[in-house]
């Protein structure tokens, strides 16, 4: 028997010829490229997840802020309806706070703000002579 057998009694497979150092280097460079591409994909995935998490957090913060505003408004309206807070006090507060007429129209007792005059045209620049 000229063929050698392995431990299970099967003939050993012939060995592949050894690779040259150049071939091995090329293989390693290819592995490096694949790993770099995988890392880039992973990095992009993580960045997408981070952006999504930040967007979710901002959305939750906006929701909480809106809820706080609604609750404060409900408390103030409750005080008004119960007579614990005079309407004039609310009007004074809102008069200094509301700057848009469509917002002011939602509340009785608030007059629209006067229309502002457009800015006048700037004067023409003086001519410079002698140079």
Question: Can you give the pLDDT of all 131 residues of the chain as single tens digits?
Answer: 455 677 777 777 778 889 899 999 999 999 999 999 999 999 999 999 999 999 999 999 999 999 999 999 999 999 999 999 998 888 888 988 899 999 999 988 888 888 875 555 666 666 666 54
53-60: which pairs have CB atoms within 8 A and are 24 or more residues apart? none
What pLDDT, on the 0 to 100 scale, is given for residue 110? 87
Distance CA 61, CA 101 (A): 28
d(CA 1, CA 11): 10
Residue 124 lies in a domain: no
Question: Is residue 120 in some structural domain?
Answer: no
The model's pTM is: 0.56
- Residue 57 forms part of a structural domain: yes
DSSP E strands: which ranges in 1-131?
none
Which residues 6+ apart lie within 8 Å of 85 measured at CB?
76, 79
CB 87 within 8 A of CB 109: yes
Range of the domain at 31: 22-66
What's the pLDDT at 128? Answer: 65
> Is 28 a member of any domain?
yes
Q: Is residue 62 part of a domain?
A: yes
- The count of domains in the chain is 1
């Amino acid at each position: 028997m000229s063929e050698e057998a392995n431990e299970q009694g099967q003939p050993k497979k012939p060995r592949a010829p050894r690779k040259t150092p150049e071939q091995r280097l090329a293989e390693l460079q290819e592995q490096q490229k694949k790993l770099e591409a995988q890392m880039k994909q992973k990095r992009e995935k993580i960045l997408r997840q981070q952006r999504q998490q930040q967007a979710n957090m901002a959305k939750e913060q906006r929701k909480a802020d809106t809820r706080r505003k609604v609750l404060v408004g409900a408390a103030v309206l409750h005080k008004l309806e119960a007579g614990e807070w005079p309407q004039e006090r609310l009007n004074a507060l809102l008069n200094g706070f509301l700057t848009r007429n469509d917002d002011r129209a939602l509340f009785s007792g608030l007059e629209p703000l006067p229309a502002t005059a457009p800015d006048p045209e700037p004067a023409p620049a003086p001519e410079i002579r002698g140079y």
